[in-house]
Amino acid sequence: MKKNDDIILEITALSGQGVGIGRYEGMAVFVEGTAVGDTVKAHIIKVKSKYSVGKLLEIITPSESRKEVDCPAFSKCGGCAFRHIKYSEELNIKKQGVYDAMKRIGSIDLKPLDITPSPSVTEYRNKAQYPISVDENGIFYGFYAKHSHRVVKSECCLLQPPIFEKTMKLIKQWADQNKITAYDEVSGKGILRHVLLRYGEKSGELMVVVVVNSNTLPFAESLETILKGELGEALASLQYNINKEDTNVILGEKTVLVYGNDYITDEICGVSFKISAASFYQVNRAAAELLYKKAAAFIEDDDKIIMDLFCGIGTIGLSILNLCGRENRSLIGVEIVPSAIENAKQNALIGGFQNTEFILGDATLGAEQLRGRNITPDVVIVDPPRKGCDEKLLEIIADDFAPKKLIYISCDPATLARDSKILSENGYKLQQYSPVDLFPSTAHVETVALFLR
The percent helix, strand, coil of the chain (3-state, each to 5) is 25, 30, 40
pLDDT above 80 (res 388): yes
Question: Would you say residue 226 lies in a domain?
Answer: yes
Q: Is residue 344 within a helix (H) or strand (E), and if so which, with residue range?
A: helix 338-350
Kindly report the CATH number assigned to the domain that includes residue 241. 2.40.50.1070
Domain match, 366 and 227 both: no
pLDDT above 80 (res 413): yes
pLDDT in tens, 206-239: 999 999 999 999 999 999 999 999 999 999 999 9
Question: Would you say residue 92 lies in a domain?
Answer: no
User: Mean pLDDT across the stretch 2-14?
Assistant: 94
Question: Would you say residue 74 lies in a domain?
Answer: no
pLDDT at 15: 85
Residue of 77, 311, 389, 411 marked active site? 411
Choose among 341, 334, 339, 343: nearest CA to 383.
334
Residue 287 CB coordination number (10 Å): 22
pLDDT above 80 (res 6): yes
Residue 450: which pLDDT band, with cuts at 50, 70 and 90? very high
User: Mean pLDDT across the stretch 9-17?
Assistant: 89
Q: Please state the domain count of the chain.
A: 3
Question: Would you say residue 71 lies in a domain?
Answer: no
Domain match, 414 and 295 both: yes
pLDDT above 80 (res 290): yes
Domain match, 290 and 359 both: yes
* Domain with 248 in it: 127-263
b/e 295-309 (16+ beta carbons within 10 angstroms → b) = bbebbeeebebbbbb
Q: How many percent of the chain have pLDDT more than 90?
A: 85
Q: How far is the first Cα of the chain from the last one, in angstroms, to the nearest whole number?
A: 52
pLDDT at 135: 86
pLDDT at 1: 87
Report CA-CA distances (Å) from 215 to 122, 137, 191, 240.
37, 27, 10, 10
Alpha helices in 59-135 (DSSP H): 87-104
Compute the mean pLDDT over every residue in the chain, rounded to the nearest whole number.
94
Question: Would you say residue 80 lies in a domain?
Answer: no
User: Mean pLDDT across the stretch 260-280?
Assistant: 95
Report CA-CA distances (Å) from 161 to 122, 165, 170, 225.
8, 7, 15, 22
Domain match, 18 and 106 both: no
Domain match, 216 and 160 both: yes
Domain match, 331 and 443 both: yes
Residue 327: which pLDDT band, with cuts at 50, 70 and 90? confident
Domain match, 244 and 344 both: no
pLDDT in tens, 162-192: 999 999 999 999 999 999 999 988 899 999 9
User: Mean pLDDT across the stretch 334-339?
Assistant: 91
User: Mean pLDDT across the stretch 373-394?
Assistant: 93
User: Mean pLDDT across the stretch 424-431?
Assistant: 96
Domain match, 394 and 288 both: yes
Domain match, 240 and 141 both: yes
Examine the fold and report which residue of 263, 297, 322 is the final residue of a domain before the chain moves on. Answer: 263
Question: Would you say residue 275 lies in a domain?
Answer: no
User: Mean pLDDT across the stretch 324-345?
Assistant: 92
Q: Environment class of residue 180 by beta-carbon count within 10 Å: exposed (0-12), middle (13-18) or buried (19+)?
A: buried
User: Mean pLDDT across the stretch 308-313?
Assistant: 93
pLDDT at 395: 93
Kindly report the CATH number assigned to the domain that includes residue 21. 2.40.50.140
pLDDT above 90 (res 51): yes
pLDDT at 320: 95
Residue 453 CB coordination number (10 Å): 13
Question: Sheet containing 405-410: which strands, arranged edge to edge?
Answer: 356-360, 330-335, 305-308, 379-382, 405-410, 446-452, 429-436
Backbone angles phi, psi at 411, to 5 degrees: -110, 10
Domain match, 180 and 245 both: yes
pLDDT at 326: 87
Domain match, 301 and 436 both: yes
Question: Would you say residue 292 lies in a domain?
Answer: yes
Q: Is residue 29 within a helix (H) or strand (E), and if so which, with residue range?
A: strand 27-31
Q: How many percent of the chain have pLDDT more than 70?
A: 100
Which residue type sits at 103? K
Kindly report the CATH number assigned to the domain that includes residue 383. 3.40.50.150
Domain match, 139 and 112 both: no
Question: Would you say residue 223 lies in a domain?
Answer: yes
326 within 8 A of 303, measured Cβ to Cβ: no
To the query of whether residue 411 is one of the catalytic residues in this protein, the response is yes
SS3 356: strand
DSSP code for 430? E
Residue 310: which pLDDT band, with cuts at 50, 70 and 90? very high
SS (H, E, C) 140-200: EEEEEECCCCCEEECCCCCCCCHHHHHHHHHHHHHHHHCCCCECCCCCCCCCEEEEEEEEC
Alpha helices in 4-83 (DSSP H): none
Backbone angles phi, psi at 295, to 5 degrees: -65, -40
pLDDT above 90 (res 87): yes
pLDDT above 90 (res 374): no
pLDDT above 90 (res 137): no
